[in-house]
Amino acid sequence: MDMSMERYGTAFLDRTIIANGVLRQVVSVIRDTLNESQLARLLIFDDRTGSPIDVDLRKVQDEGQRSDSYPSAESLEASTDEEPGVKPVSKVGRPKLGVVSGEVTLLPRHWEWLKSQPGGASVTLRKLVEEAQRAGETQEKKRKSQEAAYRFMTAMAGDSKGYEEALRELYAGNRERFKHCVQSWEPDVARYTLQLAECAFGRSDDPEAEPNGMNNC
């Protein structure tokens, strides 16, 4: 399976976290510390999606080296370089900076309201668009966080006490009730579940809410 070894992951041996961080480093720790019988009980999860990651440890070389199955960013970049002596073709597209004009169709009452706002119609429209973008990004992060927590919970705690209730509170957005539901689970399973679910409830001042750069709400 083609995937980036630079993503963040967390490795569980049974219900205990044994390594987390950049996936390539996690794999290195696993290879150095686990024996064959332990590898059969190992699960690695993607910190962004909550999905299990299937890693063939035999194909992953030591830290700092690259496997043919996982091309480096440098090799991919080199493969796209232009041939010597060939002048790059300029691409048509929107300018990187500046304002782009376009047609907007509104009812008269909408134009009157826009013109009455501080800064005029253009400034107000830009603010409205930016606010809508931020709201959309927040909702998208919430959805992805819910899905990530759901995937992990189903894989690691599907038969645990409070699982179904925890799912209901996750999608209802009840942070405290959700935490109460998972607190009886194995400590590492509960902690990782809460980390994946953090953006489902909005921002938090919890210093443990965003390990490894995950779930930056």
**Burial annotation 147-170 (CB, 10 A radius, 16+ → b, else e):** ebbbbbbeebbeebebbeebbebb
Burial class (CB in 10 A: 0-12, 13-18, 19+), 44: buried
Dist. CA 49–CA 91, nearest whole Å: 34
The model's pLDDT over 186-208, given as tens digits with 9 standing for 90+, comes to 999 999 999 999 999 976 555 55
The model's pLDDT over 61-117, given as tens digits with 9 standing for 90+, comes to 444 443 333 333 343 334 334 444 544 444 444 445 466 777 778 888 888 888 888
- pLDDT score for 214: 57
Dist. CA 99–CA 131, nearest whole Å: 18
Long-range contacts of 69-75 (CB under 8 A, 24+ apart): 69/2, 70/2, 70/3, 70/4, 70/5, 73/6
Q: Nearest Cα to 45, choosing from 8, 15, 16? A: 8
217/117: higher pLDDT: 117
- pLDDT score for 5: 65
The model's pLDDT over 16-35, given as tens digits with 9 standing for 90+, comes to 999 999 998 999 999 999 99
